[in-house]
Amino acid sequence: MQPYVLALDQGTTSSRAVVFDRAGRIRGTGQREVVQRFPQPGWVEHDPEDLWHSQLAAAREALTASGAAPDDIACIGITNQRETAIIWERATGRPVHNAIVWQCRRTAPQVEELRARGHAGLIQRRTGLVPDAYFSATKIAWLLDHIPGARDRAAAGDLAFGTVDTWLIWKLTGGRVHVTDYTNASRTMLLDLDRMVWDPELLALLGVPGSLLPEIRPSVGEFGVTGPEHLGAAIPITGVAGDQQAALFGQACFSPGMAKNTYGTGCFLLLHTGSQRVHNDAGLLATAAATESRAPAYALEGSVFIAGAAVQWLRDGLGLIQHASESEALAATVPDSGGVVVVPAFAGLGAPHWDMYARGLIAGITRGVTRAHIVRATLESIALQTLDVVEAMEAASGSRLHELRVDGGASTNNLLMQMQADILGRPVVRPQITETTALGAAYLAGLGAAVWSDATAVATGWQVDRRFEPSLPEPQRQRLIRDWQRAVQRARGWADA
Ligand code: ADP
CA of 90 to the centre of ligand 1 (A): 40
Q: CATH number of the domain at 4-242, out of 3.40.50.1260, 3.30.420.40, 3.40.50.10860, 3.30.930.10?
A: 3.30.420.40
Residues 6+ apart with CB under 8 A from 243: 9, 11, 79, 80, 81, 82, 437
pTM of the model: 0.93
Task: Write out pLDDT tens, residues 156-178.
Answer: 999 999 999 999 999 999 999 99
Q: Do residues 373 and 340 touch, judged by C-beta distance below 8 A? A: yes
Q: Do residues 301 and 268 touch, judged by C-beta distance below 8 A? A: yes
| Amino acid, res. 146 | H
pLDDT computed for residue 461 by the predictor: 79
Query: Which protein residues touch ligand 1 with a CB less than 6 Å away?
Result: 264-265, 308-309, 311-312, 324-325, 327-328, 408-410, 412-413, 416
Closest residue by CA, ligand 1 atom 9: 409
DSSP of 134-174, one letter per residue? TSHHHHHHHHHHHSTTHHHHHHTT-EEEE-HHHHHHHHHTT
Q: CA triplet 323, 325, 330: central angle to 5 degrees?
A: 90
pLDDT computed for residue 139 by the predictor: 96
CA of 324 to the centre of ligand 1 (A): 7
pLDDT computed for residue 180 by the predictor: 98
CA distance linking residue 70 with residue 344, whole number of Å: 47
Give pLDDT tens digits along the chain (497 positions): 778 999 999 999 899 999 999 988 999 999 999 998 999 888 999 999 999 999 999 999 999 999 999 999 999 999 999 999 999 999 999 999 999 999 889 999 999 999 999 999 999 999 999 999 899 999 999 999 999 999 999 999 999 999 999 999 999 999 999 999 999 999 999 999 999 999 999 999 999 999 999 999 999 999 999 999 999 999 999 999 999 999 999 999 998 999 999 999 889 999 999 998 999 888 899 999 999 888 999 999 998 989 999 999 999 999 999 999 999 999 999 999 999 999 999 988 888 988 888 999 999 999 999 999 999 999 999 999 999 999 999 999 998 999 999 999 999 999 999 999 999 999 999 999 889 999 999 999 999 999 998 888 788 878 999 999 999 999 999 999 999 999 999 999 998 75
CA of 15 to the centre of ligand 1 (A): 18
Closest residue by CA, ligand 1 atom 27: 410
Residues 6+ apart with CB under 8 A from 245: 183, 219, 270, 287, 288, 289, 290, 299, 440
Coil vs helix vs strand at 332:
coil
pLDDT computed for residue 497 by the predictor: 59
**Ligand 1 atom nearest 408 alpha carbon:** 6
Q: Do residues 219 and 169 touch, judged by C-beta distance below 8 A? A: no
Is residue 446 packed enough to be buried (19+ CB in 10 Å), middle (13-18) or exposed (0-12)?
A: buried
Coil vs helix vs strand at 75:
strand
**Ligand 1 atom nearest 13 alpha carbon:** 4
Is residue 357 packed enough to be buried (19+ CB in 10 Å), middle (13-18) or exposed (0-12)?
A: middle
